[in-house]
Structure formats: structure tokens, C-alpha cells
Amino acid sequence: MTGFLWNLGAFLIALGVLIAVHEFGHFWVARRCGVFVERFSIGFGKSLWRKVGKDGTEYTLAMIPLGGYVKMLDERVEEVAPERRNQAFNNKKLWQRSAIVAAGPLANFLFAIFAYWVVYLIGVPAVKPVIGEVAPQSIAAQAGIRDGMELKSISGIKTADWETANMAMISHIGDKQMTLTVSGPDGEYEVQKTLDLTNWSFDPESERILTTLGITPYSPKITLTISQLVDDGAAIAAGLRLNDEITAINGQPVSDWMQVVEAIRAHPGKEMNIEVRRDGKPVTVLLQPKAKAGKDGELIGYAGFAPKVEPWPESYRINLQYGPVEAVGKAAEKTWQLVMVTFDMVAKLVTGDVAMKNLSGPISIAKGAGMTADYGVVYFLGFLALISVNLGIVNLLPLPVLDGGHLMFFAIEAVTRRPVSERVQDIGYRVGSAILVVLMAVALFNDFTRL
């Protein structure tokens, strides 16, 4: 219950901030263009809080926090007194109306730049994208990618860390090839490698993109020495101690931590002989893993202890932190990459290269908000930037109920020299609304299947 409330709270904060940013974009440009704004609302439905400002605008916080709107004076909506017609949206020049509509998505992009600017000012720890292992006969292996190489760029996008590398790879879903620039294990050379993606398949729901290409990121060695014990866990009950080094399970020697994990998972509620080296001496304990249900409902065992992990080499660790001026450029570059990747994914969603099951709705966003908030303000800001870019791009889709639909009508008006008829606009709004409802239903269905 606590996790649900935390996710909900983080979601509402994230959504409130991004809606306010989007609607403020419309509001600010409308005011600059001389349009009177009657209401600035965050949310829909019954008003929870309202205040009329000195500018005559009613500011409202409404009950349903799944959107917002800016209500402007408009003769198409209601009768306007003759002396106020110059303040009506519909009487403004085409470029002014276009600027007002485009300002919402633009504000989302600017907010993403601001959020990343703050992130880079604070600094975010990361590791270089060094390849730990390449699976034999994999797509990466066939392209000549080798263990120890470091990814420098992917199709022209510089990859300082694994997050950027993953994002660049995701943009290649549905493509025939991908070009990687890699350096040797000691950074003594750089070379381009082309991956053949003709037979590549990737399911974001169940697979990691790197794994499908045959790449395992470098990570420090996981030892067989116990470094953590959970209170009241099966490990403590069995008599295991910190710094015990596991050497064998049920008489079978072990040399890798995954062997330990798999053995324990396979023995829920069943006794196991665990041989360890303690203070240089062999000790055998009787461990009975507790049982819990896995994702598929099958019982799996867990013991309540964790291994010691060797530290990262200092040469692999980086801190993405910049000065106030340099951070602006880095933030703009990061936002531009997000915009390009998101546009690309939307296009592939339309063409069918990306499956509809990959759409995410408010439940997935809430979980993401809660998880990043757990990690700290830097990661939460990065999440806000990501969602802000997505919100901006979604609103630019050429559906009449969205900003992109209005801009489409304005583009037609610019060509024909006359506004699109109200009848055509009305039909467009109905069709656009139906499409949005279907997309939201699919996204919500996907969310529930992931629970």
C-alpha cells in the first residue's frame, strides 16, 4: 500500500508539473499576442481551488489531474462584445494563432532542456559503455565486436554512458543495420562496425536490447563471499555469517554466483548442504530456502543473503557534471536525441515496426515516477525530462483534438487562404477523439497486463 501511495504521489507531482508547463506555454504566448485568457486550469472536472488574478484570468486546480487547458476568448465558442473582438483568438493573425498552439509542445521541450541542465549541474554518476562479453555467433559477434571494446558512438550519436547507448539502439528497431564506433580494450584505436539487423527481433517486455544483440555490459566480478544477510532470513537461520565464502552446494563445487542463485531458486522449502570457507576453515551448514511465488506462479526459493561485488575500476567510472554554460549545450543535445528517438519510435509504431503492445499508459508512468523518485532528485528530473519530451511530441501528432491537429488546419489555411470549415473541423475532432480513446485503451490494457 505504501508503494502504491508513493507511486501515486510521484505520478501526480510529475503530471502536475508537466501539464502546468505545457499549458503555461499556451498561456504566455497568448498573452503576448493580445489574446484574453479566461481560464487557466490544471485538471478537469470540479474545481478544488480557484482564484481570479488581477489580469482577469481564473486560475483553477480541478479534481481530475489527467490534463489541463487554457480557455481563451473566442467568437467560435461564445459571443464576444464588439469592443473585445481584438482580444479574441480567432481574430488574430495566422502566425499568432500558430505560435499560441505550438507554444505548448515547445514549452515541454524547453522544460526538458532545463531539467537536464539541472541534472548536469548537480552531476550524475555513470559508467563507460564497455563491453564485458559478446555471445558467440550473435549479431554483435558477426559484426566483429569483441570483449573489452568501448562504445563511442551509435550511428553518429555519441555514447558516453550505457543510458545513451541503449536509447540510440532502441531507435534502430525495425532498421536493417546499425553502425557502431568502438575503441579497443585500451582505447588505442577506433573503428566502425556495422551490425546486420535483418533477422533481429526485440521484445521490450521480456528482453534487454543488449542481450538480443549478444552484448553483455562489463560489470565488476561478483564473488562467492557473503557481504549481506537479511534479518530473519533462511541464511541466518542456517548459521551462515558475513565473509563466509561458498565453495560447494550439495557436494557440487561452485565457481560462479549464478550457480548459487539457480540452486537456491530450485529448492524452495527443501534442505540443502552449503559448504563455506570460514576463517580459512571448511564449514558445512544446512540451509532450507524459504519459498515465494515467481512471476509465473511457480514457487522459487530464496535465502536472504547477497554476495560481495568487486569495485568498479576508476577508469570506467565517470561523473556527468558540467559548468552552467557547458551544461546548456549538453542538455540541449540530450533533449534533441530524445526528440529524434521518440519521433522515430512514433513513426515505427504507425508503420508496424514497433508493436502496439509497447505503448505505455498512466500506470506505467506512475511506476516509473515512483522508482526514479526513490533514486533521488537527479533521476526524477531525468524522468520528468523524458516524459515532457514525449508529451510534447504526442501533442504534435496531426490529430485534430491535439495541438498538432490545430497546426495542420492552420497549414491548410495558409495554403488555401481561408480557414478550414467548421464542419470539416468537427468531423476531424470526432475522428481524432476516437483514435485517442482507442490508443488510451490499448495503453491501459498494456499497463494492466504488466501488473
Active site residues: 23
Neighbours of 101 (CB within 10 A): 25
Place of cell 487554457: 70
Q: Are 42 and 62 in contact (CB under 8 A)?
A: yes
What whole-number distance in Å separates Cα of residue 163 and Cα of residue 175? 20
Angle at 82 between CA 81 and CA 84, to 5 degrees: 70
What whole-number distance in Å separates Cα of residue 423 and Cα of residue 40? 27
The grid coordinates listed for 269 are 522449502
Q: In this structure, what are the phi and psi dihedrals at residue 322, rounded to the nearest 5 degrees?
A: -140, 165
What whole-number distance in Å separates Cα of residue 414 and Cα of residue 410? 6
> Which H or E run contains 434?
helix 422-450
Q: How far is CA 121 from CA 118, 158, 167, 322, 381, in A?
A: 5, 20, 22, 6, 12
Among the listed residues 332, 428, 398, 427, the one whose alpha carbon sits nearest the alpha carbon of residue 116:
332
Q: Are 68 and 38 in contact (CB under 8 A)?
A: no
**Size of the chain, expressed as the number of residues it contains:** 451
Q: Write the CB contacts of 4 (distance below 8 Å, at least 6 apart in sequence).
A: none
